[in-house]
Every structure is written in C-alpha cells, then in structure tokens.
Amino acid sequence: MKKVLITGIRGQDGAYLAKLLLEEGYEVYGADRRSSDASYWRLEKLKIKDKVKIIYMDLLEDSNVAEVIREHRFDQIYNLAAQSFVHASFKQPILTSNVNSLGVLRILEAIRMFSKDTKFYQASTSELFGKVIEIPQKETTPFYPRSPYGVSKLFAHWITVNYREAYDMFNVCGILFNHESPLRSIEFVTKKVVNSVSKIKLGLLEKLEIGNIEAKRDWGYAPEYVYGMYLMMNHNVPEDFVLATGESHSVKELIEKAFSFIDMYLRWEEKDGRFIALDKNGNIRVVTDKQYYRPSEVDFLVGDYSKAKNVLGWEPKVKFDKLIEIMMTEELKELEKLRRNENTILQG
C-alpha cells in the first residue's frame, strides 16, 4: 500500500484529493496545522474523516516538517497547504510568503535530506500569469504575478523546478486555474455569490455586497482538478501542467448566472462609481463596495489545457454553467436543511 501525505488536508482540494486517493488504495495521511477548533467538516461531508490519518505539520516550523518527513518517508507528498486567499496576502504578505514560499522549501529540503525517493506535487496557480502576457495562458507563458500571494507562489514554483533539476527529484507543479465546488471557503467569490443569492432566495438576506465585477476567471470543478493532480504524479516523467477549462467569465456573469438560477433577473446601473443591480420590483440586490477590491488586480485569465489533454488524457467536463448549477443546488439544500434544524430546535 502506497503511503501518501496531503498537506492542507482541511482545505477544499485536500478533502477531494484524500477521497480520490483512498479510493485508489493509498494509505492517506493528512497534514494539519494545530488549531484550537479542529473542524474537519469537509472530510466529514465526504465521509472519509475516519480513514485519513491526521498528523500535525505546520509549514512554518522547520523541525516539525523535517521530523514528519524523516519519520514517515512517504511515497508521495501533495503540498496543498497555503495561505491561499489573494486579498488577504496584501494584508499579510510576510506570513503569506513564509508559508507559501519558505514552507515549500522546508518540505523540499526535508525530502532531499531524508527521503529522496518521495514524489512531490506543488500547488502552483494561474495567479502566476497575473497581468497576462499571452492569451490563452499555457505552460510556456511568461509569469507576471500581481499580488504577494502570486509572488510567493512564483518562488515556490521555481524552487520546485530547481530541486527537480539540481537533485534529480520527482517534483511536479500543477498550474491550476480557479477551481470551485460546494466545499469552497466562503471568502472566495463563487461561494460568496452562491451563498448570498441562496440567502436572498430564502429571505435571509437583502443584497449581495461585492468587489470588482469586471474581473474574468477560468472557473472549473475541483474534483476534476484533483484527478489531474493525481495523473501528474503518476505520469512517468516529472513535468508541469496547466489545468483549466478554456472558458473565461466575469464576476458579473457569475452573479447573473446565480440569480437566474432563482429566477431573478437583474438590471444594472452605475451610480457614483458604484454598480448596483435591481430586481424587477426595483429592489437593490447587488451593490459593489471598494473594501472588496484589491490594490492590484488580475483582470483576465483563461487557460489552455492542451498539454494535459494530450499527455495525460485529462479533460474538464464541468464548465461554468454546470458549475454554478452544482453549487447553487447544494447551497440551497444546505441552507434549507439548516433552517429546518433551527425550526426543530425552536419548536422542540
């Protein structure tokens, strides 16, 4: 049985990847930083909490990382742990760099010293392309990151490549475009939008407050992307791959799609530099707010996944429309369940 470590086990991708690897017969260890409120809701939701062996490994702690890797000598390590919220990276650039850049180097050093045969996956990102130099973006497109997050991931990307070349290690970088799911954290825009729109539908919220509605992203479905990670790790040569859908949509389109799911159609107006959207009764349902804007933005991303398709046979099936449908259906179901439970408690 192959022994695999997934860092960032409590995150969206960690949960889906753990499920996939358990199904493939791996012994799955999940690295978690200690927390006073250890909630494993994603693993519980996927019904795999009892099957994943949780160990503490904080990427900020050199000796912790080294000891875990020396003790276990995993066959494979997927490094998904990160301070992954771009907006927060402007407020916490040093923490972000320490976790996302040096954290990766800590793992690579430990592998080099104690476990040279461990295969390593690094979670690179389309944020590397930032202010894009080429459309669509592929493996050979030059990088131009636009946030402390993007820059921290640039170091991580190149140090992973460098250790592959310098020490002949099996290291791969998955350059993944945005991928979403019902397990996405609420701070990211897709989940925030589907959550707010579902609440509006249930009468729990009046309007959605949002940032830059003009930014465009290539949004895919997380379970398909973790399958791509798995294919990269099990490919015979260590190489880097882009995973994307090849479609780009604006935040505005995302909002409109989510509202159309609840049969609400919006009319946009611009007032004093802010956008508002009204429903057919003239109620304000969306309003833009500068607090959600970033000091420097990635305006447009769209990926070319043809290398992954040709070499790994990977292809996304869930595109934008289907993705929003999946997320809206699940969000409404969850909120209705919550409301039923609250009513039962109040009546009981």
The residues carrying an active-site annotation are 125, 127, 149
What are the beta bridge partners of residue 341?
none
Distance in Å, CB of 299 to ligand GDD, minimum: 8
Partner from ligand GDD, ligand NAP, none binding residue 12, C-beta < 5-8 Å depending on class: ligand NAP
- CA 283 to CA 267: how far, in whole Å? 10
Helix (H, G, I), strand (E, B) or coil at 30: strand
Helix (H, G, I), strand (E, B) or coil at 150: helix
By CB under 6 A, residue 211 contacts ligand GDD: yes
- The pattern of x and - marking residues 244 through 273 that bind ligand GDD according to CB under 6 A reads -------x----------------------
Q: Which two tokens stand for residue 338?
A: 């919550």
Q: Which residues bind ligand NAP (CB under 6 A)?
A: 7-8, 10-14, 33, 35, 58-60, 80-84, 99, 123, 125, 176, 178-179, 185
Q: What is the DSSP string of 221-234?
A: EHHHHHHHHHHHHT
Partner from ligand GDD, ligand NAP, none binding residue 10, C-beta < 5-8 Å depending on class: ligand NAP
Name the phi and psi angles at 84, rounded to 5: -100, 0
Q: What is the DSSP string of 192-255?
A: HHHHHHHHHHTTS-S-EEES-SS-EE--EEHHHHHHHHHHHHTSSS---EEE--S--EEHHHHH
Distance in Å, CB of 174 to ligand GDD, minimum: 11
Partner from ligand NAP, ligand GDD, none binding residue 211, C-beta < 5-8 Å depending on class: ligand GDD
Helix (H, G, I), strand (E, B) or coil at 122: strand
Partner from ligand NAP, ligand GDD, none binding residue 66, C-beta < 5-8 Å depending on class: none
Q: What is the DSSP string of 49-111?
A: GGGSEEEE--TT-HHHHHHHHHHH--SEEEE--S---HHHHHH-HHHHHIIIIIHHHHHHHHH
Complex with ligand GDD: residue 269 or 342, whichever CB lies closer: 269
- 84, 24, 48: which is closest to 231 by C-alpha? 24
Q: Which of residues 153-192 bind ligand GDD (CB under 6 A)?
A: 177-178, 187-189, 192
Complex with ligand NAP: residue 67 or 279, whichever CB lies closer: 67
By CB under 6 A, residue 228 contacts ligand GDD: no
By CB under 6 A, residue 106 contacts ligand GDD: no
Q: Which of residues 61-90 bind ligand GDD (CB under 6 A)?
A: 84, 86-87
Residues that bind ligand GDD (CB under 6 A): 84, 86-87, 125-127, 177-178, 187-189, 192, 210-212, 215, 217, 251, 292, 294, 297
